[in-house]
Amino acid sequence: MKLTSGKIDTAIKTVIYGPEGIGKSTLAAQFPRPVFIDTEGSTVHMDVRRTPRPQSWTELLEQVHWLADRPAELGTLVLDTADWAEALCAETVCARAQKSGIEEFGYGKGYTYLAEEFGRLLTALDLAKDHGVNIVITAHAKMRKFEQPDEMGAYDRWEMKLSKTCAPLIKEWADMVLFACYKTYVINVDGQGAQKGKNKAMGGERILRTTHNPCWDAKNRFALPEEMPLGYAGIAHLLRDRTAKGETEAVAESATTAAPADAEASAPAAPPPSPGVPEKVARLMRESGVTPEEVVYVVSQKGYFPADMAFRDYPQDFIDGWMLPCWAQIVAKIEENRTKVPF
């Protein structure tokens, strides 16, 4: 046995839950090279890669194992959603025991069997994670009345729309549990006070909660702010595509591509792009005589991603949807920066 210390660079397991329509799937689609296992058909209007919709629990497990065996095909495996996956699991558990429903087992045994079977899914997802694939599980949210055993009274709290045995398994398994919700506040509109008068809800900004609160479940192991705008930028620095292949080789190969000697002599000299820069961007950098550091600085100036975020961690849809179409403006901004900021 060998003892180790320090942080281990590994893929990340994320749970995103919230009310329907808030943008859970849209956020998951911004993770590195996602492939969706869409159990409810909610991604039909999204331009994402996906497997055929699983019609049974066995088919769902087979799809997870198939993707786990092919890590080069994806950077993130997205299970959308956990509550619909749990329904497939419950069907299988009941069919094996010839029961019409999970409650028919009696004494809570059905939920115990359900958790045991659902654990097989988390184990399969861990296989993909061990190969460097990030994992995202989305889930719907529900509000439940909660009463603490040592306190009088009860209060409402948000939690995942899962059974009382499967929800704790997922929360323990994940590195991050992010609660997507609307930030609202209540104001009194008739001058009678909030307790007796007429009140109105205001706000509605979509946010992510990252830490536990009596009113919702959430956690993270990365010292994230307790509250962030709902979007990928706040967590992008934690995630990268660990299974991408050929990027470094593509950059090196493109750097050795023959070019006219006089053209090379007349072009501004620029250092070769660092590993992780896609080939298309690397070629544009050479042609424009700019460096990855200068591009990263412009991206941070625009507010898209922080300045300390590595180029290789930029989502592919950001590169294709903004960086490449706006390349001329990026170069113009770099030239402007060169008169102000030394690189």
Count of other CB atoms within 10 angstroms of residue 109: 12
Mean pLDDT, residues 253-262: 43
Residues 285, 201 share a domain: no
Q: 72-104, pLDDT tens digit by residue?
A: 999 999 999 899 999 999 999 999 989 888 888
Domain-terminating residue out of 216, 238, 260: 238
Percent above pLDDT 90 for the chain: 47
Percent above pLDDT 70 for the chain: 85
**Predicted local distance difference test score (pLDDT) of residue 189:** 67
**Cα gap 105→265, rounded to integer Å:** 79
Residues 25, 60 share a domain: yes
Residues 233, 251 share a domain: no
Residues 154, 280 share a domain: no
E strand segments, the chain:
13-18, 34-38, 49-50, 76-80, 134-146, 155-160, 176-188, 199-209, 219-220, 227-229
> Residue type at 203?
G
CB 134 within 8 A of CB 74: no
**Cα gap 286→259, rounded to integer Å:** 12
Task: Output phi, psi for 272, to 5 deg.
Answer: -65, 140
Mean pLDDT, residues 321-329: 81
Q: How many domains does the chain have?
A: 2
Residues 273, 207 share a domain: no
User: What is the residue range of 301's domain?
Assistant: 247-338
Top-confidence residue, 149 or 29:
29
Token pair belonging to 333: 């901004």
Domain-terminating residue out of 238, 264, 290: 238
Mean pLDDT, residues 35-59: 93
> Is 3 domain-assigned?
no
Residues facing 199 on adjacent strands: 188
**Predicted local distance difference test score (pLDDT) of residue 193:** 66
**Cα gap 285→277, rounded to integer Å:** 10
Residues 226, 269 share a domain: no
**Predicted local distance difference test score (pLDDT) of residue 275:** 61
**Predicted local distance difference test score (pLDDT) of residue 67:** 95
Residues 30, 166 share a domain: yes
**Cα gap 176→221, rounded to integer Å:** 7
Q: 129-157, pLDDT tens digit by residue?
A: 999 999 999 999 998 877 766 666 677 88
Residues 137, 188 share a domain: yes
Count of other CB atoms within 10 angstroms of residue 186: 11
> Is 194 domain-assigned?
yes
Residues facing 220 on adjacent strands: 176
Top-confidence residue, 1 or 270:
1
> Is 142 domain-assigned?
yes
Does 184 have pLDDT greater than 90? no
Top-confidence residue, 86 or 321:
86
> Is 6 domain-assigned?
no
> Is 190 domain-assigned?
yes
Q: What is the CATH number of the domain that holds 34?
A: 3.40.50
Mean pLDDT of the chain: 84
> Is 343 domain-assigned?
no
**Cα gap 15→13, rounded to integer Å:** 7
What's the pLDDT band for 107 if we cut at 50, 70, 90? confident
Mean pLDDT, residues 109-126: 93
> Is 45 domain-assigned?
yes
Top-confidence residue, 277 or 159:
159
Task: Output phi, psi for 121, to 5 deg.
Answer: -65, -45
Token pair belonging to 343: 């690189």
> Is 307 domain-assigned?
yes
Q: What is the DSSP letter of 113?
A: H
CB 70 within 8 A of CB 64: no
Domain-terminating residue out of 204, 238, 272: 238
Residues 223, 283 share a domain: no
Residues 177, 63 share a domain: yes
**Cα gap 263→259, rounded to integer Å:** 7
Residues facing 16 on adjacent strands: 138, 178
Q: What is the DSSP letter of 225?
A: -
Three-class DSSP category at 98:
coil
Residues 225, 97 share a domain: yes
pTM to 2 decimal places: 0.68
Q: Does 4 sit behind a cis peptide bond, omega within 30 degrees of 0 on the bond before it?
A: no
Residues 266, 218 share a domain: no
CB 35 within 8 A of CB 73: yes
